[in-house]
């Protein structure tokens, strides 16, 4: 059993046909006989597979999928089956650490928190709220995030709060705001059961969300097979199943999507009646895509024009089209512009809000949706609009604070800008919770120097020592999944309750509790002098969140812990959004007034109203703009970074599960056959990949990556190198400090590099 899911990450097929239920298949793995099972869901990707945690002798000993759940029908992927072992790792942080004389040393909670409070108080006096930055995660629980959002936005009153979700799902959320007026996944995973055509754009879903791929694979192997179009520079598992694969050059998504849209228009495949009554912007979109003939796009993307026509025909023939996008869009050139064109394809075909007809702008991390919803990722809580004074008033009333306390003079500061302010010295206090920027942000030499700067006081809350905790002034040990109760929401809006199964190790505590201690210690108060944050337990936070979200598009008011216990996870907003063809684009209700897609120019309320959407979706166009960093004679290849199915993020957890470590122990470099021949290297030869910013040394794998493109998985850092020195293992040594002008998501997929044999 154990090795089975490594060799076959998707497990045995259970083929089924359109309109029937996806068969249940319960997957399980344990290292002993559980005494009891505790309800939870997986936190190792955005799919959110429901599972039960097996406990014996106060330890987690295994997991089994929940057959009753709507998301996974019992299945678990390799990370879900094996990743839980990290909870039991001897590497866990169990006591706070405080830097003394240059070294991190163990300390008591009182001393560690006092050290943080002392610095925080003096900075509040000297510099005020804008000296504070908070950089959080996509892997905590809703209850942790909402506590942090109230602490930072309503208590300290800083605008500098963002999540590492900026790296994984910012474009997903932003493209939904640009097109539909508000974040919120339109579709549902159940649309896989009904669709007749699948469009994958920049999503290697067989590796990133294995269980959702299993569902698609089961449709592809069942009666009434849906057609599959894949746009991806790599020959992925899904590409191998595709009817048409468009292996575009990195960074050219907008060109190929514009060509597909042009074909749909030219071939009369637009549902004009639906478009006229439910959208605005058709004329401008048609004009923008006009020059993108298949031949023109083929030249930009370096693919075959006939393949573009064939893909457009499949999309045009679809009666139930389900579209997916992920990091190949979100972390690439023109991220938001491209993601919006995916939305546009479904809108032009009038295929949204009905069974099998939908868009899934996927998320990366398991709880990223909550980071976005609670106001920890560039918006105000519950999808409130920073430019809408009424929305700010609502929060101020809810929290009983002066509206001016809540910064709303601009969009909440994004992660890359937070690090820039830290670099400049205007942010002097940075609290990093549940994320590892010293491996995951672009251009790591720069990030290390920012974090190591003595002017910056760095607090890190984490469960394991890592490359970021090494640079901290104070480290708090945290309780993680399985060791605390809370909720989280997956990429199709399914909310799951995850109950505490075991005690945290040593003195580790939940992030929520640590933030509450900090708020208490600072004496944060509401305007009547009462403590600002009035809740303590996870369920109390959740109930406060239900109130905060009431009446907003992400309305949790009908969802309770009680309702989440026992059965399946529950989707907020119902199974599908926009079933009535109405969209949240009323100016007083929408989350964002939107942006111009090529420059990121922020629209005002007046400009937004001029679009006249008012309940209709917005077809936003964008011409193709070449990547900022194009290959040169010195750096002739394009770097693509991404994931492997066996690991998550910087392997903080998956690097501590034996099966997953054995499956992918170290970094590698993927080259095309032709590039390998040209460079005189073969499978297994060690090469040096260099960009203007750094280098990585790793062995070669010859895969189906397209010519001119180099792929390196981004998971590997330095904590498990057995003492070897040098910064030559993390893919982000090479990447460029650059972000999408609209979503502010860093661009990891178009750095120029050269490769040499070592």
Partner 1 sequence: MKLDEAVATLHAAELALADDFRELSALHAAEHDVHHQAQRFAKQCDAHAERLMPIVERYGSSGGGVDGSAFSGELLDDLRDLYVAAHETLIMWIIAGQGAKAARDEELLQVTQELQSETDLQMKWALTHIKLSAPQALVS
Q: Which residues contact partner 1 (rule: CB under 8 A)?
A: 127-128, 130-131, 159, 407, 409-411, 416-417, 420-421, 423, 426-427, 596, 599-602, 625, 628, 737-739, 741
* Residue closest to 268 by CA, chosen among 342, 349, 343, 197: 349
Give least dist CB 412 to partner 1, A. Answer: 11
CA distance readout (Å), 368 to 117, 136, 167, 386: 28, 10, 10, 20
> Is the CB of 88 or the CB of 737 nearer to partner 1?
737
Q: What number of helices (H) and strands (E) belong to the chain? A: 27, 27
Give the pair of three-digit tokens for residue 116: 């943080």
Give least dist CB 392 to partner 1, A. Answer: 15
The DSSP code for 458 is: E
CA-CA-CA-CA dihedral for 458, 460, 466, 470, to nearest 10: 30
> Is the CB of 557 or the CB of 737 nearer to partner 1?
737
Give least dist CB 601 to partner 1, A. Answer: 4
Give least dist CB 84 to partner 1, A. Answer: 39
> Is the CB of 360 or the CB of 450 nearer to partner 1?
450
Q: How far apart are CA 13 and CA 47, in angstroms?
A: 18
Give least dist CB 326 to partner 1, A. Answer: 23
* Residue closest to 637 by CA, chosen among 721, 556, 705: 705
H, E, C per residue of 640-684: EEECCCCCCCCCCCHHHCHHHHHHCCCCCEEECHHHHHHHCCCCC
> Is the CB of 166 or the CB of 496 nearer to partner 1?
166
- ∠ CA 237-344-20 to the nearest 5 degrees? 55
Q: How far apart are CA 592 and CA 186, in angstroms?
A: 17
Give least dist CB 298 to partner 1, A. Answer: 24
* Residue closest to 271 by CA, chosen among 620, 619, 612: 619
**How many C-beta atoms surround the C-beta of residue 625 within 10 A?**
16
Give least dist CB 593 to partner 1, A. Answer: 12
> Is the CB of 537 or the CB of 628 nearer to partner 1?
628
> Is the CB of 287 or the CB of 678 nearer to partner 1?
287
> Is the CB of 537 or the CB of 604 nearer to partner 1?
604
> Is the CB of 6 or the CB of 625 nearer to partner 1?
625
**How many C-beta atoms surround the C-beta of residue 17 within 10 A?**
12
CA-CA-CA-CA dihedral for 106, 108, 112, 114, to nearest 10: -150
Helix/strand/coil percentages in the chain, nearest 5: 35, 20, 50
Give least dist CB 579 to partner 1, A. Answer: 35
* Residue closest to 71 by CA, chosen among 51, 99, 100: 51
Give least dist CB 56 to partner 1, A. Answer: 51
Give least dist CB 732 to partner 1, A. Answer: 15
Give least dist CB 150 to partner 1, A. Answer: 21
* Residue closest to 422 by CA, chosen among 437, 410, 439, 407: 437
Give least dist CB 739 to partner 1, A. Answer: 7
| DSSP codes joined into one string, 17-28 | -TTSPPPP---E
What are φ and ψ of residue 116, in 5° steps? -70, -45
As to burial, measured by CB atoms within 10 angstroms (0-12 exposed, 13-18 middle, 19+ buried), residue 97 is buried
> Is the CB of 350 or the CB of 741 nearer to partner 1?
741
Q: How many CA within 13 A on the CB side of residue 291?
A: 9
Distance, C-alpha 252 to centroid of its chain: 21
Give the pair of three-digit tokens for residue 554: 């992400």
> Is the CB of 82 or the CB of 419 nearer to partner 1?
419
> Is the CB of 146 or the CB of 421 nearer to partner 1?
421
Give least dist CB 250 to partner 1, A. Answer: 17
Give least dist CB 621 to partner 1, A. Answer: 13
> Is the CB of 226 or the CB of 741 nearer to partner 1?
741
Give the pair of three-digit tokens for residue 473: 């002034």
> Is the CB of 188 or the CB of 377 nearer to partner 1?
377
> Is the CB of 272 or the CB of 628 nearer to partner 1?
628
Q: Residues 707, 235: contact at Cβ < 8 Å?
A: no
Q: Residues 304, 259: contact at Cβ < 8 Å?
A: no
């Amino acid at each position: 059993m154990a090795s089975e899911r490594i060799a076959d990450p998707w497990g045995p097929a259970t083929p089924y046909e359109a309109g029937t239920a996806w068969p249940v298949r319960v997957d399980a793995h344990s290292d002993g006989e559980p005494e009891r099972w505790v309800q939870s869901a997986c936190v190792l990707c955005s799919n959110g597979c429901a599972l039960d945690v097996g406990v014996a002798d106060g330890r987690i000993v295994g997991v089994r999928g929940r057959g009753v759940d709507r998301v996974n029908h019992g299945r678990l992927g390799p990370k879900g089956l094996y990743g839980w072992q990290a909870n039991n790792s001897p590497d866990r942080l169990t006591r706070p650490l405080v830097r003394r004389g240059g070294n991190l040393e163990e300390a008591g909670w009182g001393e560690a928190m006092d050290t943080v409070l002392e610095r925080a108080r003096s900075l509040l006096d000297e510099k005020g709220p804008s000296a504070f930055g908070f950089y959080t995660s996509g892997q905590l629980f809703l209850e942790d995030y909402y506590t942090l959002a109230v602490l930072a936005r309503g208590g300290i009153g800083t605008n500098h709060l963002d999540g590492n979700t900026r790296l994984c799902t910012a474009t997903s959320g932003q493209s939904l705001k640009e097109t539909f007026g508000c974040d919120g996944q339109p579709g549902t995973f159940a649309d896989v059961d009904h669709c007749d055509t699948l469009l994958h754009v920049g999503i290697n879903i067989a590796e990133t969300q294995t269980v959702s791929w299993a569902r698609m694979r089961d449709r592809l192997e069942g009666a009434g097979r849906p057609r599959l179009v894949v746009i991806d520079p790599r020959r992925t598992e899904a590409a191998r199943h595709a009817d048409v694969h468009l292996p575009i050059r990195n960074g050219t998504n907008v060109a190929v999507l514009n060509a597909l849209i042009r074909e749909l228009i030219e071939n009369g495949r637009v549902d004009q009646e639906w478009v006229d009554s439910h959208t605005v912007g058709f004329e401008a979109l048609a004009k923008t895509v006009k020059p993108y003939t298949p031949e023109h796009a083929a030249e930009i993307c370096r693919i075959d024009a006939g393949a573009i026509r064939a893909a457009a025909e499949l999309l045009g023939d679809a009666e139930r089209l389900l579209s997916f996008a992920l990091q190949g869009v979100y972390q690439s050139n023109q991220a938001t512009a491209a993601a919006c064109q995916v939305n546009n394809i479904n809108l032009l075909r009038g295929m949204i809000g009905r069974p099998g007809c939908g868009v899934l702008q996927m998320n990366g991390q398991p709880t990223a949706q909550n980071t976005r919803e609670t106001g920890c990722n560039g918006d105000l809580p519950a999808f409130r609009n920073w430019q809408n004074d009424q929305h700010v008033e609502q929060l101020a009333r809810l929290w009983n604070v002066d509206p001016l306390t809540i910064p709303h003079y601009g969009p909440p500061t994004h992660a890359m800008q937070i690090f820039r302010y830290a670099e400049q010295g205007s942010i002097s206090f940075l609290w990093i919770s549940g994320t590892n920027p010293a491996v995951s942000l672009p251009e790591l030499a720069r990030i290390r120097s920012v974090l190591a700067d003595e002017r910056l006081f760095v607090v890190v809350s984490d469960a394991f020592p890592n490359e970021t905790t090494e640079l901290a002034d104070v480290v708090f040990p945290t309780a993680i999944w399985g060791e605390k109760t809370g909720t989280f929401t997956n990429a199709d809006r399914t909310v799951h309750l995850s109950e505490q199964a075991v005690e945290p190790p040593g003195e580790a505590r939940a992030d929520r509790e640590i933030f509450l201690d900090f708020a208490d210690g600072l004496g944060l108060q509401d305007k009547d002098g009462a403590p600002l944050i009035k809740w303590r337990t996870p369920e109390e936070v959740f109930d406060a969140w239900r109130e905060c979200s009431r009446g907003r598009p992400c309305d949790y008011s009908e969802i309770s812990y009680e309702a989440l216990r026992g059965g399946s996870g529950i989707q907020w907003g119902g199974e599908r959004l926009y079933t009535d063809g109405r969209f949240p684009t009323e100016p007083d209700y929408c989350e964002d007034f939107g942006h111009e897609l090529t420059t990121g120019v922020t629209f005002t309320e007046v400009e937004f109203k001029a679009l006249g959407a008012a309940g209709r979706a917005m077809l936003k166009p964008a011409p193709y703009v070449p990547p900022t960093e194009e290959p040169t004679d010195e750096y002739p290849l394009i770097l693509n970074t991404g994931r492997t199915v066996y690991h998550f993020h910087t392997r903080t957890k998956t690097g501590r599960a034996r099966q997953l470590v054995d499956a992918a122990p170290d970094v590698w470099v993927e080259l095309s056959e032709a590039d390998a021949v040209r460079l005189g290297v073969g499978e297994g030869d060690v090469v040096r990949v260099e960009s203007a910013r750094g280098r990585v040394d790793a062995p070669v794998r010859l895969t189906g990556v397209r010519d001119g493109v180099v792929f390196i998985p981004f998971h590997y850092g330095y904590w498990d190198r057995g003492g070897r020195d040098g910064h030559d293992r993390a893919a982000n040594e090479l990447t460029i400090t650059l972000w999408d002008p609209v979503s502010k998501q860093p661009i990891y997929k178009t750095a120029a590099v050269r490769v040499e044999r070592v």
